[in-house]
Structure 1
Amino acid sequence: MKAILLLIACITGITLSANAQKITAAKVPATVKTAFAKAHPDVKTVSWEREKSSFEAGFKLNSHEMSEIYSPKGVLEESETEITIAELPKQASNYLEIHYKGVKIKEAAKIVKASGVVNFEAEIKGKDILFDANGNLIK
């Protein structure tokens, strides 16, 4: 019985550490909070998550759900902006129509990496389908 409980505890720990964890603003490094506040001085409500070694800020801007990922040093790594399904590149929409016919797209987003690389994401059945800027499937 102890072995089973230990196994369950290990699996739970691994699962929790693999996913982003909600954290309070007090646990976010000052460098990250300062960088975010400088980039978005008008945003007052922010939810924070720890994602591997980075910090993710979730917020609303101009009625769009957004998130930004920062390194512990406060360097912006990527930003994600909620978009409408119609704003996905045509090629991505075509792919989803063919491979997920009749399945509802829960949400879509535009992702911009710090390098300037743009990707698009569509969430279907709890899984994220990733496309490049032209709508070509990445994964």
Structure 2
Amino acid sequence: MKMYLFSAALLGLTVMSCSAQDLKKSDVPEQVQTACAKKFPESGHAKISWEKEKGNYEANWGGRSGEDNSAQFTPSGVFIEIVKAIPVNQLPAGVAQYVQANEHGAKIKEAGLVTDAKGVVTYEAEIKGKDLIFDQTGKFIKVD
């Protein structure tokens, strides 16, 4: 039993280390902070929380949860994408149809409008701890 608990705890730590890590502002490269402030001037008037995810830096600000906007940058400060939180009912109709058919009608917990560096817009729907990505018509693209 003790070995099982130790293994479960170790697995939990391993999973945690693969997910996002909260950072202090002082741990975020200056070029990333500058790029964020330049690209999103409104972020300078808000409290930004920082995370490191998949080797990139993510700035979160705005709204009640402090995560209405999530912008990702490379370590050198190159903009990757921004996700703006939206109400679930603003997702394209095809998203709900896909979830009903392929995710056994699971509840969509959060939704986002994603715009990448090239201006391509997609939608994100969080279901069961994973993000499903859809195009503008609601066609499923991938799990992120």
Pairwise CA RMSD: 2.9
Kindly provide the CA deviation profile for residues 66-101 of structure 1, in whole angstroms up to 9, marking residues without a partner as x. 100001111110110101112111211222234446
Measure the CA separation in 1 of the matches of 2:18 and 2:135. 25
Residue equivalent to 2:59: 57
Q: Distance in 2 between matches of 1:27 and 1:4?
A: 35
Worse overlay, 66-75 or 40-49: 40-49
Equivalent position SS for 1:49: strand
Deviations, residues 95-124 of structure 1 (Å, cap 9, x unaligned): 223444653221111111112222211112
Q: Aligned pair in 2 of structure 1 residues 45, 5: CA closer, same or farther (>3 Å)?
A: same
Using the aligned pairs only, state the percent identity.
Answer: 38
Q: Hey, what's the Cα distance between the residues in 2 that align with 1:8 and 1:85?
A: 34
> Where do 5+ consecutive residues of structure 1 fail to align?
none
**Aligned residues between the structures:** 138
Aligned pair partner of 1:46 in 45, 48, 59: 48
CA distance in 2, matches of 1:119, 1:51: 20
Question: 5+ unaligned residues in a row in structure 2: which ranges?
Answer: none
Q: Could you tell me how far apart the structure 2 residues matched to 1:101 and 1:12 are?
A: 27
Provide the TM-score with structure 2 as the length reference: 0.79
One-letter identity of the residue aligned with 1:56: E
Q: Tell me, yes or no, if the aligned pair for 2:121 and 2:135 is still in contact at 8 Å.
A: yes
C-alpha displacement of 1:38: 1.7
Structure 2 counterpart of 1:72, one-letter code: P
Compared with structure 1, are the counterparts of its residues 100 and 15 closer, same or farther at alpha carbon in structure 2 (3 Å cutoff)? closer
